[in-house]
Structure 1
Amino acid sequence: MNNWSRVLRLVWETNPRGVLGILLTTACDAVIPVAQVVLLGLTVNAVQSATDPSSLLIYPALFAGLALLGLILTTLQGYWQAALEQRVSNAFNVRLMEKSGTLSLRDFENPDVYNRLQLATREATGRPYQFFAQLIAAVSGAVSLVLLMGVLVTWSPLVALFVLLAPILPVVANQIFVRRLWAVERDRSEERRRGQYLLALVTNDKTYKETRLFGLVTHFIDSYRAMLGRFYTVDMAIERRRSRATALSGLAGVAVTAVAVFLAIGDAFNAGDLGRLAAYIGAIGAVTVAAQMLIGGLGQLVEHTLFLGNLFAFLDLPVTDAAPAGPGQVDVPDSPAHEIVFEDVTFAYPGQQQPALNGFSATIAAGRTVALVGENGAGKSTIVKLLARLYEPTSGRILLDGVDIRTFDRDQYRDHLTVLFQDFIQYEASVRHNVAFGRISRADDDEGVREALHRAEMTSTVRTLEHGIDTQLGKWFADGKQLSGGQWQRIALARALFRRSPVIVLDEPTASLDARAEEAVFSRLTEESHLATKILISHRFSTVRTADEVLVLQGGQLVEKGDHHSLMDDNGLYAQMFRLQASGYVN
């Protein structure tokens, strides 16, 4: 019931006038079937006793009036329902996005949380309004049913009882299977998510080349088809049982209806009231509709409540990525560069026994360029995630200008940080927005956008585009221009530079660039970004050797540090990796 109140409260807040309009028209519409039944009985009796047909004109006029009223009410309901449905759907989708924005990277890498997100995404668009609509239908059915039964009981309580029982059995039987279907859908959520992934592999432009080249399309389609087949087998087994139960209960309902008609004939005969018999027959149909609306609506409410549980289970997840300002928190110092200190930092990913970082300590002086090198899995990217506060250290601490970064407001702290991730986003947007997303508050700064593109060695390419910085990039939307991998990387680099943060972290920033372009980019960065503190992660030692200091990691620990020349003189791990890479060029 708590979910009921939450949905209804949000629906009311979305459009109070629309809700009131729907309630008013529904209440009026619920009275029409009762009026029609009573009017039918009166009309039959009037016809039986009339001597002049002209005296009966009032009755067709009344029927027409009821039909016109029903048309008006239905039209108004349709308008308000359409408006309300769209606004409720939009509101829940926005809430879903807002909630996703409060989750941590830990949550997105947790399969259970991700399953909840997928289930919630499926329910957010239509389920809340469907719940409200079914509730209104149930209330409308209840009002009609109560009024109809009130009329019938005054004639014959026994007939009223059988008229009421006739439509109930099939509807009740149908609702027994609702919970079972919900449980099946809940249990298959992860497999359905796997199916969505298979669908994306075949229908996404970013996976097109490899899936076609390796001949994987047929394999993925067959896997998807097999999954759908398993779903179909389970669903049809339930549907067969539900159909048998519905058929049996329907037969019972038919028998009860026959008894109700028999009793109605007897009551009308005894009363000598043919109009009452006509009203009974009309009431059976009206009660059937009203009972189906009530019981079917209640059954749908149960179903919607179960599935809304998926939505609210996600919305009720604890906020894990919020760090609002509070007692003991301080502002980030305003400086063109910051000193960064790692003090005995250890970190293990959730569910992992082996730490990704183990007792890591290092000092990065303000305004210096420090490179992180090491084999895959050495802990380089983990350092970036901790510095960006995507995760918090298991033990130890990270200091910015001598202050533990956990004491800063998270968003204000991140405002002083730029990270160009190795798996950067290729935004399906204009060049302008691709760059301006680095600092969205300056989205109208065209000069700043062009300056960032210049520093990323992208100016000449943008000049060749038909609409310049307003050119749509990517192929998802009309008139989109697809860039090469290296050009996309320069766009991402321009986005990072546009941010103008005192700390810049570049994770493989030139992996897709050729040697000449890489040299040009780093020469410009060295010249123009000397004030910022820069952390560079790269497997290219031609890039690493330009750093002021190199930190060498192995197994999550710092094993060497120094500049390029001192590390080469030490003849340690760095020298081995450098010579191994250099030998490939020499040979």
Structure 2
Amino acid sequence: MTPRLTVRDMCGAAVYAVRMSWAADRRGVLTVVGLQLANAFGLASALLLLRGLLDDVLTLADSDDAGGDLWRLGSGVMVLVALGAAGGILQTLGGMRQQILTDRVDRYVISLVLHTASHTELWEFEDPDFHDRLQRAVHASRHKPATVVVMLVAMLQVALTVLVVVGVFITIAWWLLPLATLTAWPLFKAAKDRRTALYAMHHGLAENRRRRQYLERLLTCRDEAKEIRALNLGATLHNRWDSEYAQELNGMARLIRTHAGREIRAKFLSSALIAAVIVSVWASVNVGMVSLAAASTGLAGLWLLSSRMGMASQMFNDAGESLYFLKDLHNFAGAAVEPLPGPAEPVLPFRALQARDLTFTYPGADRPTLHGIDISLHQGEIIALVGANGSGKTTLAKLLAGLYAPTEGTVIRDDCSVTDLHQLRHGCAVVFQDFVRYKLTVHDNIAFGRVDEPHHHSRIRGAAESAGVATLLESLPNGYRTLLGREFTDGTDLSGGQWQKLAIARAFYRDAPFVILDEPTAALDPQAEADLFVRIRHLFAGRTVLLISHRFSSVRSADRIYVLDSGRIIEHGTHAQLMRARGRYADLFLTQAAGYLDTTPA
């Protein structure tokens, strides 16, 4: 259901836009306002001067001092021309300064959206509604705040011009003022209806646009390109993108057809009201109620009033549409969590990390992923999690790393319940199975392990050596300054196994007391895998390691092994204990071993 905005909401959104513009570029806001005000006063002066010139023209023939009157008339015309030229210059300068203001406000607002998204808790990314709100906020961040500010300033100029014209009408025939003011009402009403309908359409297109962006990414990104071509998916994905886009275009076409007739009727009605004002003015001239000069000035003012009010209705439509979207931006930014705390105390090791009766349900899911988990990890231990795909291993690791808050239960660190997830994150290094391949320098890829501390090349090289990748990195064209990613100039790429070693080096650089390795050798060759696990106890000496792996040869040396099934721990113990128990672990181990030995398990 599309939310409706009240006048109070729109005023609040306008104030929000002004505040953001002020924060982004104070001098730019003051300059734009000053130029618009100067232009408005110039127009008012020109209108008043025009009335004086018309009086001079009409009285010139009857004057005894024709030379003086001609000089005064010529001087007035020159001043009028000068005012017109000055107005053109101010308009040019204002347009240039508005573009600079727009760019700076865009940067500020997009930065605000990115900041909010980067500090949003991980569980929210599991919620489709969050992605819709993010999409609407991103849409609102594109030129909307700057558009509102520029339009508000321009509408101030219109308001000043209208006040001047109103003053002229009061001196001519005050009773015509209400009729002249009503000439813009049909335009405002039609613009408001179209604006409301346009926002309703865009509000419902958030998920459509997300699907389109995903399809665009599939069709244009390097990592996906090989499979798209291997499966010949290009035309299929392009057709789906085109179909999604057609929904928006068809909706826009229906909206335009619906409201075009209304706006045409509004313009006819507005023109009819203007014609009524003109007839009334000339009737007043014929009966001698007003002078010809005053009537001519009034009609010039009426033309100016009509054009300005029409402009104001369009501005109000554009600004009003932006105000609708700014409400989405305001709501999204206001829902942000507090930023992560900066580097404070050094990361200290713990004696024990325990989970007690942990239960977790993903947003929107109708049943928990984890049920009543109890697990204990002690300093210096290697603990393994095994189980079938979807058994909850990675979800449990995310809870222990402080990336999710449990739905029920608690995490205990050295006999103290953990209420601050940032504390867990600060003391944890994670190598995910689907780790990020940062298309930045090698140095960044490792140093990102601990960005809140000064970077030391000796530590970066030491982390690379621990991960067994230092020799490779030093052989790259620019060593640790080599840019990774062939889509960038002078960039190079790594193999899957080399990328995985780089992710492991990042974990070493983080130097945390708790290390989570989620399938850390999935892309490594057998020899590299064997080398890593032979050295893992030495490399992570004094730390607690949580190892998730499908390769039972890798986990058999763990101090304890926990077996998960459908979100529950069904067994735990050492490899020898679990094999003697002949339970689920023994079945999985023997089945995998049979594949290597080409025998059937007993």
Q: Give the TM-score of the pair, scaled to structure 2.
A: 0.89
Residue from 9, 29, 33 that aligns with 2:19:
9
Residue from 165, 168, 184 that aligns with 1:151:
168
Alpha-carbon shift at residue 41 of structure 1 (Å):
3.2
1:103-140 Cα distance to aligned partner (Å, 9 max, x none): 22221111112210111011123111211111112221
1:450 aligns with 461
SS of 1:396's equivalent in the other structure is strand
- Assess, with a 3 A threshold, how the Cα gap between structure 1 residues 565 and 25 changes in structure 2: closer, same or farther: same
Instruction: Name the amino acid aligned to 1:221.
Output: H
1:22 aligns with 32
1:249 aligns with 266
1:209-255 Cα distance to aligned partner (Å, 9 max, x none): 22222222212211221222222222212211221112222222333
CA distance in 1, matches of 2:306, 2:488: 51
2:393 aligns with 380
2:247 aligns with 230
Alpha-carbon shift at residue 336 of structure 1 (Å):
4.1
1:67 aligns with 84
Decide whether the 8 Å contact of 1:338 with 1:532 is kept in 2: no
Alpha-carbon shift at residue 503 of structure 1 (Å):
0.7
Does residue 588 of structure 2 align to residue 577 of structure 1?
yes
Decide whether the 8 Å contact of 1:433 with 1:443 is kept in 2: no
SS of 2:452's equivalent in the other structure is helix
- Assess, with a 3 A threshold, how the Cα gap between structure 1 residues 399 and 412 changes in structure 2: closer, same or farther: closer
2:555 aligns with 544
1:58-109 Cα distance to aligned partner (Å, 9 max, x none): 0232023212332443344335433432332222223222322332222111
Residue from 104, 114, 117 that aligns with 2:121:
104
**Higher deviation after alignment, 107-116 or 14-23:** 14-23
Does residue 220 of structure 2 align to residue 220 of structure 1?
no
**Higher deviation after alignment, 336-345 or 535-544:** 336-345
Q: How many residues are paired up?
A: 579
Alpha-carbon shift at residue 410 of structure 1 (Å):
3.1
Does residue 280 of structure 2 align to residue 280 of structure 1?
no
Instruction: Name the amino acid aligned to 2:319.
Output: L
1:280-319 Cα distance to aligned partner (Å, 9 max, x none): 3422331123212333333333322211121122123263
Does residue 482 of structure 2 align to residue 471 of structure 1?
yes
Decide whether the 8 Å contact of 2:18 with 2:149 is kept in 1: yes
Alpha-carbon shift at residue 426 of structure 1 (Å):
0.9
SS of 2:137's equivalent in the other structure is helix
CA RMSD after TM alignment: 2.6
2:47 aligns with 37
Does residue 413 of structure 2 align to residue 413 of structure 1?
no
User: Which consecutive residues of structure 2, in runs of 5 or more, have no partner in the other structure?
Assistant: 1-10
Does residue 376 of structure 2 align to residue 358 of structure 1?
no
CA distance in 2, matches of 1:78, 1:348: 53
SS of 1:191's equivalent in the other structure is helix
- Assess, with a 3 A threshold, how the Cα gap between structure 1 residues 584 and 303 changes in structure 2: closer, same or farther: same
Alpha-carbon shift at residue 19 of structure 1 (Å):
2.7
Counting aligned pairs with the same residue, the percent is 31
Alpha-carbon shift at residue 385 of structure 1 (Å):
1.2
CA distance in 2, matches of 1:305, 1:260: 34
CA distance in 2, matches of 1:256, 1:352: 59
**Higher deviation after alignment, 155-164 or 474-483:** 155-164
Instruction: Name the amino acid aligned to 1:64.
Output: V
Decide whether the 8 Å contact of 1:430 with 1:470 is kept in 2: yes
2:4 aligns with none
Instruction: Name the amino acid aligned to 1:441.
Output: D
SS of 1:57's equivalent in the other structure is helix
Decide whether the 8 Å contact of 1:131 with 1:304 is kept in 2: yes
1:328 aligns with none
CA distance in 2, matches of 1:62, 1:429: 61
Does residue 428 of structure 2 align to residue 427 of structure 1?
no
SS of 2:542's equivalent in the other structure is coil
Does residue 318 of structure 2 align to residue 300 of structure 1?
yes
SS of 1:358's equivalent in the other structure is strand
- Assess, with a 3 A threshold, how the Cα gap between structure 1 residues 563 and 467 changes in structure 2: closer, same or farther: same
CA distance in 2, matches of 1:485, 1:285: 71
SS of 2:572's equivalent in the other structure is strand
Decide whether the 8 Å contact of 1:474 with 1:480 is kept in 2: yes
1:320-359 Cα distance to aligned partner (Å, 9 max, x none): x77989xxxxx99964454222223233333334332222
- Assess, with a 3 A threshold, how the Cα gap between structure 1 residues 564 and 295 changes in structure 2: closer, same or farther: same
1:450-474 Cα distance to aligned partner (Å, 9 max, x none): 1111111112221221111001112
Alpha-carbon shift at residue 553 of structure 1 (Å):
1.7
Map 1:413-562 onto structure 2 (within 5 A). Answer: 413-442=424-453, 444-562=455-573
CA distance in 2, matches of 1:47, 1:72: 29
Decide whether the 8 Å contact of 1:139 with 1:294 is kept in 2: no
Decide whether the 8 Å contact of 1:332 with 1:413 is kept in 2: no
Residue from 190, 197, 201 that aligns with 1:184:
201
Q: Give the TM-score of the pair, scaled to structure 1.
A: 0.92
- Assess, with a 3 A threshold, how the Cα gap between structure 1 residues 476 and 443 changes in structure 2: closer, same or farther: farther
**Higher deviation after alignment, 228-237 or 107-116:** 228-237
- Assess, with a 3 A threshold, how the Cα gap between structure 1 residues 235 and 125 changes in structure 2: closer, same or farther: closer
Decide whether the 8 Å contact of 2:172 with 2:295 is kept in 1: no
SS of 1:513's equivalent in the other structure is coil
Alpha-carbon shift at residue 146 of structure 1 (Å):
1.2
Residue from 266, 280, 284 that aligns with 1:263:
280
Decide whether the 8 Å contact of 1:397 with 1:404 is kept in 2: yes
CA distance in 2, matches of 1:241, 1:350: 39
2:417 aligns with 404
Decide whether the 8 Å contact of 2:127 with 2:364 is kept in 1: no
CA distance in 1, matches of 2:360, 2:187: 59
CA distance in 2, matches of 1:255, 1:363: 83
